[in-house]
Amino acid sequence: MPKITFLGAGSTVFAKNVLGDCMLTPALQDFELALYDIDAERLRDSENMLNNLKHTTGSGCRIRAYSDRKEALRGASYVINAIQVGGYDPCTITDFEVPKKYGLRQTIADTVGIGGIFRNLRTIPVLEEFARDMHEVCPDAWFLNYTNPMAVLTNYMNTYGGIKTVGLCHSVQACVPGLFRSLGMDDKGVKTKIAGINHMAWLLEVTKDGEDLYPEIKRRAAEKQKEKHHDMVRFELMLKFGYYVTESSEHNAEYHPYFIKKNYPELIDRFNIPLDEYPRRCINQIEGWKKMRSQLVDNKDLTHTRSHEYASYMLEAMETNVPFKIGGNVMNTGLITNLPKEACVEVPCLVDRSGVTPTYVGDLPPQLAALNRTNINTQLLTLEAAVTKRKEHIYHAALLDPHTAAELSIDDIISLCDDLIEAHGDWLPKFH
């Protein structure tokens, strides 16, 4: 029986979206959905939830939970990754609280920044184990990575893991509908082109019937900036650099040196920046799950509508050879010509039976490429630290991070890295 393996299947809500989509996809009806998670209780919850869906949808997919990761992977055609190493407690708390002692504040801390660096460093060793298992039991499988930090983890699996990997993020799908909704515009019939790096890809073109919509978008955005709203950072970046960025304002506030500054505390209020947003979300999700659990796990009448997640559409395209277009994270094999070839980039990709074929973009506008490179610097040095186990590259990654470097001295950045290494303890490999 062909197999789709879901690593991190204890993420029950996300498993419902991605695997529920697969259960509703005609071309995937003869697949086994293999579930694996290190949390046995959450794994059982997801198994029960998916069996409820199987009953209500009449899907032909077989649901099976595994306690052995290698057996879950054995013979898989596709592997979907949605793990989080270290969770909210202790690792996310550590990523936020230790930097606070230095006056360094964050919003999400899952991509770059000091929090993103250390999330990478504790996640890459687990991906190394995944890659080792996959080479043994499913060497030809596609690895669909949903785990953040997206760019570095996808880069690792392609460059060092030797596994066919594409990174998938919601921000490309959500970018234009969200922008148009917030500005009171209709996105029906709009043609777009988006490319860059994950969480900092750019809406390069946005037209309708041959007309460039950017002048009207910027006019409305400038007017909206006169009052507080949830997307002020992205609008500010667009009005100053010329283009709208895919990922949210709370994310982009910490990717740049301009917004979260202890010497200019008024910027937090001016741009409506939600400091410590990710820990708040974690707490709300933990509390929400207690209430939601019975609605998913114990609900024999559970239903599902196919979501906007890319995974099932990609698998359908690969199985049927009917092409599907995605915004995918792939290695920069000359796709964006003014970004480093070692980088992972986010570009339009065609998916069919031959796999994932990225499209050529060419040069980004120079100011956008420059902004991307500030984040790529930290990404590549984080990867270097993870692969070589050399502590000096952790320092380099942090010293080159735009937000961290704008706030702290060289000595404080190195001291902060040492404190985080100590605080994370056995969640990290040993560095020398």
Could you list the active site residues? 170
Q: Which helix (H) or strand (E) covers residue 48, if one does?
A: helix 40-57
Backbone phi and psi for residue 390, each to the nearest 5 degrees, phi listed first: -100, 120
Distances (CA, A) of 93 to 59, 104, 206, 252: 40, 14, 39, 20
Is residue 397 within 8 Å of residue 375, measured between CB atoms? Answer: no
CA 174, CA 12: separation in Å to the nearest integer?
22
Percentage helix, strand, coil for the chain under 3-state DSSP, each rounded to 5: 50, 15, 35
Q: 68: how many CB neighbours lie within 10 A of its CB?
A: 9
Q: 293: how many CB neighbours lie within 10 A of its CB?
A: 15
Backbone phi and psi for residue 171, each to the nearest 5 degrees, phi listed first: -65, -30
Give the N- to C-terminal CA distance of the chain in Å, as an integer: 46
Q: 67: how many CB neighbours lie within 10 A of its CB?
A: 11
Token pair belonging to 254: 């910490």
Q: Secondary structure of 270-312 in the HEC alphabet?
A: HCCCCCCHHHHHHHHHHHHHHHHHHHHHCCCCCCCCCCCCHHH
CA 181, CA 11: separation in Å to the nearest integer?
29
